[in-house]
Amino acid sequence: MSRLKVAVPRQRIALAIQYDGSDFHGWQRQPRERSVQQTLETTIETVVGHRVVLHAAGRTDTGVHAACQVAHFDTDSPIPASKWVNVLNTRVPESISLNASAPVPFDWHARFSATWRRYRYTIYTAPRPNLFVKPFVWHYYHEPLDAELMQSALQPLIGRHHLSAFRRAGSSRADSWVDVQAAECRRSQDFISIEVQASGFLYGMMRLLVGMLVQVGRGQRTIENFEEIWTNERRELVKYAAPAKGLCFLRVGYPDNPFPPEAWYSTMPHFSFDSLPVSC
């Protein structure tokens, strides 16, 4: 007598993902290079036994990190959605870690349901490199940087603007309109952090933006000149992109966040050193 197979309901699983981008050629699957998407898809497929496609909130470039990237996949596996965080953390390489996993409805999409994304760029300004922060910062020690000038230059960016001056070639996006919701630059001892939150980001936008902000911070460009370049879409004058390793995809916003707060916030603490001297 044949045994009847019990149908397992299909489910959509959302993942909150951290990764060290220095180990990967970006998020998106590559034909011949190691990517975060390919690594995770292959890992999930060994568990569920069928083809899986991960849809992410945003694509990070080679060398860019993520504190809370969000992606989803569909499966008929009976593993409860909340258990996937443990299932994957025992199988992925050390350069990837899962913060949380959660069930989401089938009309929820990691990319299209998101209302904002937030990035942070970190600059380390001490005269000598520091081994323990080196993989996650741009060590900029050539000239002093004025973080207050950089903060002032950022403020006019808040709002809806056409930011083609901060868009690298090769993007398939139809336009360069971006709704910037927040932008701030602050210093903590030898660290300068630049955070931008927007509805979406253009290809290469944050690294080109930071490259020009550094020119403002060191006095090479005025705030007025900085604003004139991007408002007049003078892409030919934006010549330098900040290094990838200083950039981190912080988190994504949704009307109904599927993850607990501890998986969402403080996943990449601000770098800082205690200002008090230490006795050895």
The answer on pLDDT for 118 being more than 80 is yes
pLDDT level of residue 145 (50, 70, 90 thresholds): very high
Task: Map residue 274 onto helix, strand or coil.
Answer: coil
Residues 216-235 have pLDDT tens digits of 999 999 999 999 999 999 99
pLDDT, residue 34, reads: 94
Ramachandran sector of residue 113 (left: φ over 0; alpha: ψ -120 to 50; beta: rest) = alpha
pTM score of the predicted model: 0.92
The answer to whether the CB of 38 falls within 8 A of the CB of 134 is no
The answer on pLDDT for 54 being more than 90 is yes
Beta bridge partners, 98, equal: 17
pLDDT, residue 264, reads: 80
pLDDT, residue 92, reads: 97
Helices (H), the chain: 36-48, 84-89, 147-154, 205-217, 223-231, 261-264
Indicate if 256 belongs to the active site: no
The answer on pLDDT for 6 being more than 80 is no
The answer to whether the CB of 83 falls within 8 A of the CB of 39 is no
Q: Which residues contact 93 (CB under 8 A, 6 or more apart)?
A: 23, 39
| Domains and their CATH numbers in the chain | 11-113 (3.30.70.580), 116-250 (3.30.70.660)
Share of the chain above pLDDT 70, in %: 94
Whole-number Cα distances in Å, 23 to 62, 97, 192: 9, 13, 24
Among 61, 74, 76, 146, the active-site one is: 61
DSSP-derived secondary structure letter, 68: E
The answer on pLDDT for 141 being more than 70 is yes
CA distance 280 to 274: 15
